[in-house]
Amino acid sequence: MIRLATVQFTPRLGEPEANLEAIGRLLEPIQADVVVLPELCTSGYFFVSREQLVPYAEAPDGRASSFFSRLAAEKRAIIVAGIAENAGDRFYNSVFVFRPDGSAPLIYRKSHLFYKERFVFEPGDTGFPVIRDERLDLSIGIMLCYDWRFPEVSRVLALDGADLIACPSNLVTDAWRKVMPARAIENKVYVAVANRCGTETRGEETLLFKGCSAVYDPWGEAVALAEADGDRVMVSEIDPRICRDKSFNEFNDIFADRRPELYGALCRPRR
């Protein structure tokens, strides 16, 4: 069994040092194999221009990466964290994945930009990665917040072998709570949604983040579910092996029964 820690956290806008300290305190007593943190957990979310973001975006060898790499090594855990990425003259809403061996983080850049993110970030160019960890016998697919609206994302991750889809988020709607269980069911995978809570204000506009972080099992049932408010770490035990048999009766298999020749050029056959 894998110990999965899903973190609900309220970052302070534009206060990366305070945010890293708070994350350290939350995770100090936690023992887990995989830790999933929210989107933009080190910087806060509500930037509406690139100029506002620049002081808080980080290169892959920056302060946040050093912090999370050290934490991953200390806890012998994979850490999935949403970080604003500075890639030279380009900025991305990214997920960095840190492994215990101290290797450079794997980076996923958000493909589908939500609301005013388009004024701040470039659309992602990485595709949708699946991280394989032989030590844990676990494959983790990564998507980021608004990516949930596109069923192709979770399907591509599942077809590429993901047992668990980690989804760092800053969700401000409620529709995802109906759809995320479906993403788990239709792909027979675990889905971990690490959402933030609290509010952020720019000018006269305030965003309310909905919390309710959750882990759904391959049948769409909530293994763990947080309240709408409050920082917390939910530790769940998951068994990735049950995700690899895609049948649900003696005749039907949700991947073997696919008809990709009828779906169009963008749908790939199972590997």
The conformation of residue 229, written as its DSSP 8-state character, comes to S
In a 10 Å sphere around its CB, with 0-12 CB exposed, 13-18 middle and 19+ buried, how is residue 259 labelled? exposed
Strands 138-142 and 130-133: antiparallel
- H or E element that contains 17: helix 16-27
Element (H, E) at 176: helix 176-187
Residues forming the active site: 39, 110, 145
Q: Which two tokens stand for residue 92?
A: 């991305």
- Distance of alpha carbon 163 from alpha carbon 133, whole angstroms: 11
Orientation of helix 151-159 relative to helix 176-187, angle to 10°: 30
The closest of 134, 83, 75 to 105, measured between CA atoms, is: 83
